Amino acid sequence: MEVMQVLHMNKGDDENSYAKNSKVQSKIISLGKRISEEAIMQMLCSNIPDIMGIADLGCSSGPNSLSVISEITDIIYAKCIELGRPTPELKVFLNDLPYNDFNFIFGSLPAFYDKLKEEKGPDFGPCFVSATPGSFYGRLFPSRSLHFVRSSSSLHWLSQVPAGLVSNARTAMNKGKIYISKSSSLCVLEAYSLQFQKDFSSFLKLRSKEIVPGGCMLLSFMGRRSIDPTTDDSCYQWELLAQALMSLVSEGLVEEEKVDSFNAPYYGPCVEEVRSEIEKDGSFSVNRLETFEIDWDGGVDDVDTTSGPASRGQRVAKTIRAVVESMLESHFGKDIMDELFQRYGDLVEGYLSKTGTKYTNLVISMVRN
């Protein structure tokens, strides 16, 4: 599976789109606002450049894409007013993989620019927004061109399926599963951990070249509290998806080999793993490294659908579908998607009725040395 080609959020704004099913990610952005404000304020206290480079890595599409930039511009504007300084020109780069729905973002830009002028006046900025397609595990920007980098709900995606899981096509390394589970062998756990270490190390090295000394980076992504990668907060959403797939296998609707050969390019690290890679790289100093929990459905109120109020299981299934359907469809085909996510929603509903499991989100604020 070529992650760069098949990983993208569901496009458009229909019932299954990411634009309509990204409230969990929106909640994560809002929960990180305090730390984002602290990081930017600290940076601007020492220096307000004439031209400020800002990047949102893994911007996706839908309303969340420009909400991150709106938050950043609000913070910059408030600090400049406080200091009696003119605001810098802002060069904003929205990055995601090439098959991301950038057209949705472009269509939202006129309203975004109008809102900036209305709220902050004609002297703010100016602010120039552009797209930068490509993997953030590769080089994206010129040397020392960025002052602030933000990435939300993205770095848990790996650059590829861990190599150790696909080296022997005849032997299913993770039989009946699509990610780490309590029954996974040690070699599966190690393969995922090593792939994360490799990817996150590359990410840090590349960003250290692109960010100016004293610039800052704020990252938030799915992780776990325990060093044990098989804990429910880390992997059980994938366990339930595997169960839904295997129920289709039992009815002859999906080939078992298809499930055995699919492994999610995802990894939720623990705090210790993240800190270790940052310290090994040495280019950044950590200001904050925090964890917080969030409900699988974002803790939102019931949402009406064409068939009435949505259950928690349905809401979670729609959120997950908007994120992973492109990968699953490329591997299993389009025909089973509706049935798969209906079964997944039912399994999630049953699971959440018995447990208080939540997602764990890591938030890291760093300064370029």
pLDDT in tens, 91-137: 999 999 998 889 888 998 999 899 988 888 887 878 999 999 999 99
pLDDT of the residue at 307: 46
Strand order through the sheet with 146-152: 127-133, 89-96, 51-57, 146-152, 211-223, 359-368, 284-294
What pLDDT, in 10s, does the model give residues 216-235? Answer: 999 999 999 999 999 888 88
Q: Residue 369 — very low, low, confident or very high, per pLDDT cuts 50/70/90?
A: very high
The model's confidence at residue 66, banded by pLDDT at 50, 70 and 90, is confident
Q: Which tens digits make up the pLDDT trace of 186-207?
A: 999 999 999 999 999 999 999 9
Q: Whole-model pTM?
A: 0.91
More confidently predicted of 53 and 170 = 53
Per-residue exposure over 311-339, b if at least 16 CB sit within 10 Å of its own CB, e if not: bbbbbbbbbbbbbbbbbbbeebeeebeee
**pLDDT at res. 295:** 87
Contacts (Cβ under 8 Å, ≥6 apart) of 352: 296, 312, 313, 316
Please provide residue 234's backbone torsions phi and psi, each rounded to the nearest 5 degrees.
-90, -35
Do 318 and 14 contact (CB within 8 A), yes or no? no
- Side chain identity, residue 137: Y
Q: pLDDT tens across 324-359, in order? A: 998 899 898 999 999 999 999 999 999 888 887 888
Q: How many CB atoms lie within 10 A of CB 121?
A: 11
User: Could you report the per-residue pLDDT of 130-184, keeping only the tens digit for each?
Assistant: 999 999 999 999 999 999 999 998 999 999 999 878 645 567 788 889 899 988 8
Share of the chain above pLDDT 70, in %: 95
Q: Are strands 89-96 and 127-133 parallel, antiparallel or unpaired?
A: parallel
Measured distance CA(77)–CA(285) in Å, rounded: 26
Could you give the count of Cα atoms lying within 13 Å of 14 in the half-sphere of its Cβ? 5
